[in-house]
Structure 1
Amino acid sequence: MTTPSTRTDVVVRTYGPGQVPPLIDVAADIWADAHPELVDNPQAASLGLSVQALHRQIIGHLKHQGLTMAVAYADGTPVGFGYAFPCTPQYWFGVDLVDKVPEGARKERLMGLCELAVRPPWQGRGIGAWLHAALIKAINPQWSSLLALPDNKRGQDLYARLGYRYAGPYRNTPDGPEFDLLLLDVRPESAE
């Protein structure tokens, strides 16, 4: 793990689907540092919250055209990552929620933000927001959506600062954990 110095240059680079496979282990390492409470936790692993599950998730998402991964580097060392892809509302929200989200999120270009993680020593420095901005720029959606664990206070605080709003509860599987489905209206006119 890299610790911050007093003078560090942070650079965010974006990668398309063909460039992502060699970065999966880097992303998993960052995710593990950012979520120490989930690493080696059998209960979390049974809910699909593990390094192995992240590997499977990213590999499964590589089929989505437009998938983009953003990685933040501090003096050349990876300290954060995020990835997202354009998706259909039916795919992202599922049949139970698709009719409950705002009409724009159902009809306009939608980005599914799958992961956003920053190593703890680098949290609180704006890196999560930079990663998010890089994904928004690369994918150019009108709406963005993500799933967040309700008790992930740091993540929830970041997403609120970025403008995401609660849209309802969401479960990937009937026995899986309940997430907060969050939505962001990215359209310029929505900021007015």
Structure 2
Amino acid sequence: MAPSTHTDVMIRTYGPGQVPPLVDVAADIWADAHPELVANPGAATAGLSVPALHRQITGHLKREGFALVMAYEGGSAVGFAYGFPCTADYWFGPDLVDQVPAGARTDRLMGLCELAVRPPWQSRGIGTQMHAELLRVIAPQWSSLLALPSNRRGQDLYARLGYEYAGPYVNEPGGPQFDLLLLHVSNAS
């Protein structure tokens, strides 16, 4: 299905019990949005693959406050995002927790785990709408995410949303280096 020029995108929010039937749809959207990772065998070794996404989402379903949003156009899923409230120790880890602003350590923090939009629907505000819905549902004072430095489209979106670089982050020895990005929600436009 090709995107229309005039769009009526519907954003739906799902709680943990509603997500298992949607994991394959989310993984398909993720694969469409990240063809460079899907085609790279090294990415799978680094935990950036469809099976890794399945494990990640399934593991995060147990987190209190988990929410997944999915964007639909014409009945087809074109984007998804998910996150949950978390502690600074959990999200930043011992190497970075003391380097982030005090509020990000003490105020309500959302870990934004994934945000992906199928390429034909990118640059149409869908990622922004899904992000806004997660902020509404989870109601954090701070939001944080990990982004690959090479993901220019994602980096551009996060900069437009008000995220700022907080440091390099490696989630496992030998894993890829991510940019840890932070958003003070009350400062966001």
Structure 2 unaligned residues grouped into runs of 5+: none
1:66 aligns with 2:82: no
**Would the aligned equivalents of 2:146 and 2:180 in 1 still touch at CA under 8 Å?**
yes
Match of 1:30 in 2: 29
Query: 1:18 deviation in Å?
Result: 0.8
1:1-192 alignment, distance < 5 Å: 2-187=1-186, 190=187
For residues 41 and 150 of structure 2, the distance between their equivalents in structure 1, rounded to whole angstroms, comes to 18
Percent of aligned pairs sharing the same letter:
72
SS at match of 1:5: coil
Quote the Cα distance in structure 1 between the aligned partners of 2:82 and 2:59. Answer: 13
Cα deviation for residue 7 of structure 1 reads 3.3
Structure 1, unaligned stretches of length 5 or more? none
> Structure 1 length normalisation: TM-score?
0.96
Shift in alpha-carbon separation, 1:54–1:191, aligned structure 2, 3 A = closer
CA–CA distance in structure 2, aligned partners of residues 191 and 142 of structure 1: 10
Structure 1 stretch displaced more, 159-168 or 14-23: 14-23
Q: Is contact 2:161–2:188 with CA below 8 Å preserved after alignment? A: no
- 36-45 vs 142-151, which moves further: 36-45
Deviation per residue, 1:68-126 (Å, 9 max, x gap) = 00000001100000000000000000000000000000000000000000000000000
Q: Distance in 2 between the 1:168 and 1:14 partners?
A: 30
- Alignment partner of 1:49: what SS? coil
Separation in structure 2 between the aligned mates of residue 148 and residue 24 of structure 1, nearest angstrom = 21
The offset of 1:174, in angstroms, is 1.4
Q: Number of paired residues?
A: 189
Give the partner amino acid of 1:16: G
CA deviation vs aligned residue, 1:136-168 (integer Å, no higher than 9, x gap): 000000000000000100000000000000000
SS of structure 1 residue aligned to 2:62: coil
Find the residue that maps to 1:64 and give its secondary structure: coil
Shift of 1:191: 5.0
SS at match of 2:5: coil
1:22-81 superposed Cα distances (whole Å, 9 cap, x missing partner): 110010000000001111421000000000000000001011011000000001100000
Deviation for aligned residue 1:3: 1.1
Q: Secondary structure at the match of 1:95?
A: coil
